[in-house]
Structure 1
Amino acid sequence: MSDLHLYTHPMSRGRIARWMLEELGEPYETEIIAFGPQMKAEGYRRINPMGKVPAIRHGDTVVTECAAICAYLADAFPEAGLAPALNRRGDYYRWMFFAAGPLEAAVTNRSLNVEVPQERKGMVGYGSFETVMDTLEKALSGRQFVAGDRFSAADVYVGAHVGWGLQFGSIEKRPAFEAYFSALSARPAYQRARALDDAAVAELQKTTA
């Protein structure tokens, strides 16, 4: 049995963790946690008290939150080369947590039609949706990777947000975003992860039909 375990649902942010695990190339076990009673049950809440997926267990270590999962796995398996050297991690941390904070908050609020009053914009971490989109566009324009000259865990996390946003219309289809995600989505690990999750969705649909 592998000491890496993924708790997920194929129609969730668990797809990000799956992609990261496929980039590692290490064996791992998967447990699909159903939305509703199973995800909120006491047994799973011992893994994630929030009753949400994804989560990973690596030996005795449990990690939740997608950005934390990506950062942890990159450090736990350095041979995969998914994190820059410590003295070159400025952009790596910056953009990974930009996506976890300002980007996700701005996109979520826009999707929910939450309008922050002009005089209150200083109270929200992202300022405005337009500022976030412009900042992200500048970061990705003319670059294959978001942090340096090679693929990293930051690209998994930022790329997943960009790809999801482009697919569902929550992120504007700017050329820089489309070019960035097009290259990432051609990666073999991304294709494997997507196929695994799509197959899991199909299996769930059969059992509930």
Structure 2
Amino acid sequence: MMSEIVFYTNPMSRGRIVRWMLEETGVPYRTEILPFGQPMKNEEYCSINPMGKVPSIIHRQKVVTECAAICAYLADAFPQAGLAPPTMDRADYYRWMFFAAGPLEAAVSNRALGFVVPEERRRMIGYGSYEDVMATLQRAVSGNTYIAGERFTAADVYVGSHIGWGLQFGSIERRPAFVDYLERLSQRHAYQRAAELDDAAMAALEQSA
């Protein structure tokens, strides 16, 4: 079917973000699990995502890659799910989704790799310093119930996933504001369904290895 969503993922990847987002939309989709290594780098999949990485989706014969882009796309493609604010009210929605896609992910990744930006070079890099990013993120999740106000949106899926991984693996400081925010999100049925599906897929991959 032309309208079918095909979801390419691995349960030990950023695909978990998109799984949660898909469950929030409530629309049907077909999952294609790709093991790491050659299956992601073969010609067939690289014709979909030349990076040879997951996640990717195909919807109405169009390919979308990059987690933030997929979340934003799905929110717009399925407005009945109510996962994006009205167009004129999207300032915080866009701001924090792309803050997580840019400064947050870069700062956390660099820190995990042991790279610290020298103080005199902070003007050269978009996020400045890890400390600045953490302070900004704390303020962002402390002001309202959700990242863009009192309404849950796709931005919470994206930001909340980064915080969840960061707390799990120790790459984000365990501040009360982050723990409280993630606790609110983890009560959502879609969050729990997505986790169950990915955990089951991960167990199946491990058994077949």
* TM-score where L is the length of structure 1: 0.98
Aligned to 1:100: 101
Q: How far does residue 142 in structure 1 lie from its aligned partner after superposition?
A: 4.4
Q: In the alignment, what sits opposite 1:148?
A: 149
The answer on whether the counterparts of 1:4 and 1:56 sit within 8 Å (CA) in structure 2 is: yes
1:166 aligns to 2:167 (yes or no) = yes
Give the structure 2 partner of residue 201 of structure 1: 202
Q: 1: distance between equivalents of 2:131 and 2:144?
A: 21
Q: Is the 8 A contact 1:6 1:28 kept in 2?
A: yes
- Kindly state the Cα deviation for residue 32 of structure 1 after the two structures are TM-superposed: 0.3
Name stretches of at least 5 consecutive residues in structure 2 with no aligned partner. Answer: none
- Residue 142 of structure 1 contacts residue 176 of structure 1 at CA under 8 Å; is this kept in 2? no
Superposition deviation, residue 141 in structure 1: 1.1
In structure 1, the partner of 2:48 is: 47
Distance 1:81 1:145 in 2: 14
TM-score normalised according to structure 2 size: 0.98
SS where residue 149 of structure 1 aligns? coil
**1:86-108: CA deviations, max 9, x gaps?**
00000000000000000000000
Q: Are 1:18 and 2:19 counterparts?
A: yes
In 1, Cα distance between equivalents of 2:143 and 2:182: 13
Counterpart residue type for residue 55 of structure 1 = S
Aligned length, in residue pairs: 208
**Distance (Å, rounded) in 2 between the aligned partners of 1:133 and 1:3:** 39
Quote how far apart the aligned CAs of 1:130 are: 0.3
Q: Secondary structure at 1:19's aligned position in 2?
A: helix
Q: Structure 2 matches for 1:17-166, cutoff 5 A?
A: 17-166=18-167
Task: Provide the alpha-carbon RMSD of the alignment.
Answer: 0.8
The aligned amino acid for 2:65 is T
Unmatched segments (≥5 aa) in structure 1: none
C-alpha contact (below 8 Å) 1:143/1:180 kept by paired residues: no
Give 1:143 deviation, angstroms. Answer: 2.3
Deviation at 1:24? 0.3
1:57-91 CA distance string (max 9 Å, x none): 00111100000000000000001000000000000
State the distance in 2 between where 1:196 and 1:86 align. 32
> Following the alignment from structure 2 to structure 1, what is the Cα–Cα distance between the partners of residues 36 and 168?
22
Opposite residue 92 of structure 2, the aligned amino acid is D
Q: Which residue of 2 aligns with 1:191?
A: 192
Superposed CA offset, 1:100-126 (max 9, x none): 000000000110010111111111100
Residue type matched to 1:140 in 2? V
| Residues in 2 aligned to 1:104 and 1:145: alpha-carbon distance in whole angstroms | 19
Distance, in Å, in 1 between the alignment partners of 2:37 and 2:170 is 27
